[in-house]
Amino acid sequence: MTWKVKFLTGAEKDFNALDGSVKKAVLKQLVKLETNPFYGDVLGNKAGIDLSGYFKLYADSKRIRIVYTVVGDTVEIIAIDKREDMEVYKTALKRIQSMR
């Protein structure tokens, strides 16, 4: 089975803001999600940021995090950014809350 990878609002801007080589590394990981959406690690509640039910995937030697969820046959990319100061997780949580 093949899953469709889809950027949610904001995640596409995150991706487009990356350098060329980093983009390539992220794209390589996104392609993996097309065949196995559960390739990433399960997220939970850490430092008051509750992302239970969501996943993270590393790219660019673990410098970049991709936060996503699986809905039916679609992998929805929520945020792509550096892990520094938990920023990518804070961004992901804000985007998830604004979708509800």
Mean pLDDT of 58-79: 96
Instruction: Please state, in angstroms and as integers, the Cα–Cα distance from residue 98 to each residue in 6, 10, 93, following that order.
Output: 18, 11, 9
Q: If pLDDT is split at 50, 70 and 90, which confidence band does 45 have? A: very high
Q: Could you tell me the two tokens for 19?
A: 């350098």
pLDDT at 74: 97
The domains of the chain, with CATH numbers, are: 4-99 (3.30.2310.20)
Q: If pLDDT is split at 50, 70 and 90, which confidence band does 100 have? A: confident
Burial of 46 (0-12, 13-18, 19+ CB in 10 A): exposed
CA distance 15 to 36: 21
pLDDT at 77: 98
HSE toward the beta carbon, residue 14, CA cutoff 13 A: 22
Closest CA to 78 of 70, 87, 69: 69
Mean pLDDT of 59-71: 96
Mean pLDDT of 76-98: 95
Closest CA to 40 of 78, 69, 3, 14: 69
CA distance 35 to 20: 24
Q: Tens of pLDDT along 14-42?
A: 999 999 999 999 999 999 999 999 999 99
